[in-house]
A = this chain, B = another copy of it.
Amino acid sequence: MDRDADRPMYLRVADTLRRRIASGEFQEGDRLPSVPSLATDLGISRSTAAEALKVLISEGLAVARSGSGTYVRLPREPQRMIRAWHRATPYGSPFRQDMERQGREAGWTYKSQTIQAPPEIRDRLGLDEHGGDVEDVVRTDYVFLADGEPVMLSTSWEPLGVTRGTPIVLPEDGMLAGRGVAERMLSIGMPIDDWVEEVAARLGTAEECERLQHPPGSIMVTIQRTYYAGETQVETADIVVPADRFALVYSGKMGRASVSDKLSAGEGA
C-alpha cells in the first residue's frame, strides 16, 4: 500500500478496522466489509484481507458467519459475580442472588447421576484410594441461565458417604431443590463452615464454547470449589464461566486466618 510502517500489511489493515470499530463507525452486530470488497478497496489480495479479519476474530472483536459476512461483536463489560459476601447467609442459591442483584432472571438445567468418583475428585473430596467398583458420589451437571441465556457451567460432586439415606441425596430433588448446597447440607446436620476456591483461566473447550454460545477459543475462568463441614469435604465443584461476561469478586478481613490447614491437602499438583 502507501507508506510502510514496517508492520505487515494484514496487521495494518486490522489496525484500521479496529480503529473504525472503536470510533463507532461500526456498531455491535454491524457487518464489516467483506473480504472481496476489502481487497478491491485497499488494493490488496483477498488472502491478505482475510488474514486481517482473522486477527479481529481472534481478538474476539468480530465473528465470521460463513456465507453471510463478518460481524462486529463488541466485548460486553463483564458483570461482577460476588463470591464472598453473599455467604453471610447460607440460605438460597448464590447464583440466583447474584443475578437478582443485576436484575436478571436466574434459571438452570441439570442432570444427576450416581457414579464412582474419578481420582482427581477422590483427592478433592478426601475419599479413599478407591472402593473397588462401588458408586460413591452423586455427580450433577448444571447449565446456569440468565434471562434464558446459558452463562455458566458447573459440575458438582457430593460424596454418598455424607448424603446416603438422607432426603437430599439428589441435589435438585425434594423440598430443598434449587436452594443451594449450603442449605441442603445444613438440613442434614452438616453445616458448611469453610470454603476454598481455586481460580484459573484457560481457553474453553469446543464443547464448553458451544454450550455457552461462545465462539470457539473463548477464554474461560474456571473455579474449583470445595465446601467443608468441619474437617469433612461435603461437596466439590468445577465451575466454568466465560471471561468476557464475569469478573469474580472476593473480599475478606485482614488478620483473620481462614482455613489454612485445608489448603495443604491437594497441594501436590
Contacts and interface: CB of A to CB of B under 8 A. Distances in A.
A246 to B, nearest CB: 8
Interface in A200-216: 200-203
Interface string A185-229: 000000111111111111100000000000001011100000100
A87 B256 contact: yes
Contacts of A193: 253-255
A258 B86 CA distance: 9
A121 B243 CA distance: 22
A78 interface: yes
Contacts of A200: 78, 221, 243, 246-248
Given A85-B257, A88-B255, A260-B85, A219 B203 contact: yes
Contacts of A195: 251-252, 254
Interface string A72-103: 00000110101111011110000000000000
A248 B198 contact: yes
Contact residues on A (Cβ < 8 Å of other chain), bracket: 35 or more
Given A251-B194, A254-B90, A255-B90, A202 B85 contact: no
A70 to B, nearest CB: 18
A126 interface: no
Given A196-B251, A221-B200, A255-B193, A267 B59 contact: no
A201 B198 contact: no
Contacts of A219: 201-203, 219
A80 B194 CA distance: 19
18 contacts: A77-B269, A80-B269, A85-B257, A88-B256, A88-B258, A191-B254, A195-B254, A196-B250, A197-B250, A198-B247, A199-B248, A200-B243, A201-B221, A202-B219, A219-B219, A249-B263, A251-B259, A252-B252
